[in-house]
Amino acid sequence: MNEKDIALVDFDPDKNQITELWFNDSIEFGHGCRISIRIKNVLCHYRSKYQEIAIFETEKLGRMLVLDGITMLTEFDEFAYHEMIVHVPLLVHPNPAKVLVIGGGDGGTVRELLKHPEVQEIHVCELDEEVVKACKKYLPSLASSFDDPKVKLFFEDGARFVTEHPGTYDIIIVDSTDPIGPGQILFQRKFYEDMKGALKPDGIAVTQCESIWLHKHVISGVASFAKKLYPKLGYYLSMVPAYPSGVIGFFFCSLEYDPIEDLSEERAARLSGLRYYTTSLHRAAFTLPRFGEELL
């Protein structure tokens, strides 16, 4: 993160204090625009072995996690991301007993997984242990989920991890950073092939796959090979205001179950504590604009 990412807007020399501080999230891949968020305090800001980690206290959006200058989440709207990446596949698979999360070091995905009594075991493969440490300290509303006895953490390379666990998981959720830096390998064909190998014969994988507005080439690139690997492939959306385009998308990669036809209304009705997900929204999320359909 350089000086353009945290902008000092005003400084009061009489009080010797900053009066305005803003974080600038520049949209990657050269779109020439950015979103700015006013922050009250820098809770932590340091470089780990793999990336730059920052957690801010914002003025209106609660606490915010930033990795390599890119917004990962805010407390204001993170539930819209985490509920959709989890409950869509979990309510389609009839028995999601064993789940792997790749990435997800903030703990939000695990928090949502634990709402499903069918889940017996959760493996989390997060490359950077420092992300988990920072989130446990500053984002306990998400990261306290790691303390549940069903959860086991592995601080390893997720791309290699799936090759070492063939035919193991009912569900794999790839809660990754963007396709730059350490997350780049998770958007490549080899990883999707290896991920398929780590699933049980009726398994489902869901992967974070960027904004339909900003990253069309990434989405079309993944679709070009994923549709050859997974008999049931779909792409669906969630609205997350703190992200630069306000929208994030996910690939639904299934070896057997259909994301609409096999949705369990009965199990969905038993879930509590949800703020975004509904079964109606689940179905609607797979309806894309014309240009989105053409990407697939």
Q: Which residues are catalytic?
A: 175
Whole-number Å distance between alpha carbons of 90 and 110: 12
Quick one: which of 184, 228, 187, 212 has its CA closest to 50? 184
How distant is the alpha carbon of residue 148 from its chain centre?
20
Contacts of 24 (CB under 8 A, 6+ apart): 4, 5, 6, 7, 34, 35, 36
Q: What six digits make up the tokens of 228?
A: 């050859």
- The CA–CA distances, whole Å, from 293 to 29, 88, 223 equal 22, 19, 11
Cβ neighbours, 10 Å, residue 89: 25
Whole-number Å distance between alpha carbons of 179 and 152: 26
CB half-sphere exposure, 61, CA atoms < 13 A: 22
Whole-number Å distance between alpha carbons of 269 and 212: 30
Q: Which DSSP state fits 215?
A: -
Contacts of 260 (CB under 8 A, 6+ apart): 283, 286
The angle at the Cα of 173, spanning 140 to 283, to the nearest 5 degrees, equals 100
Instruction: With beta carbons less than 8 A apart as the criterion, state whether 56 and 41 touch.
Output: yes
Amino acid at 200: K
Sheet with 232-239, edge to edge strand ranges = 151-154, 121-125, 98-103, 169-175, 199-208, 247-254, 232-239
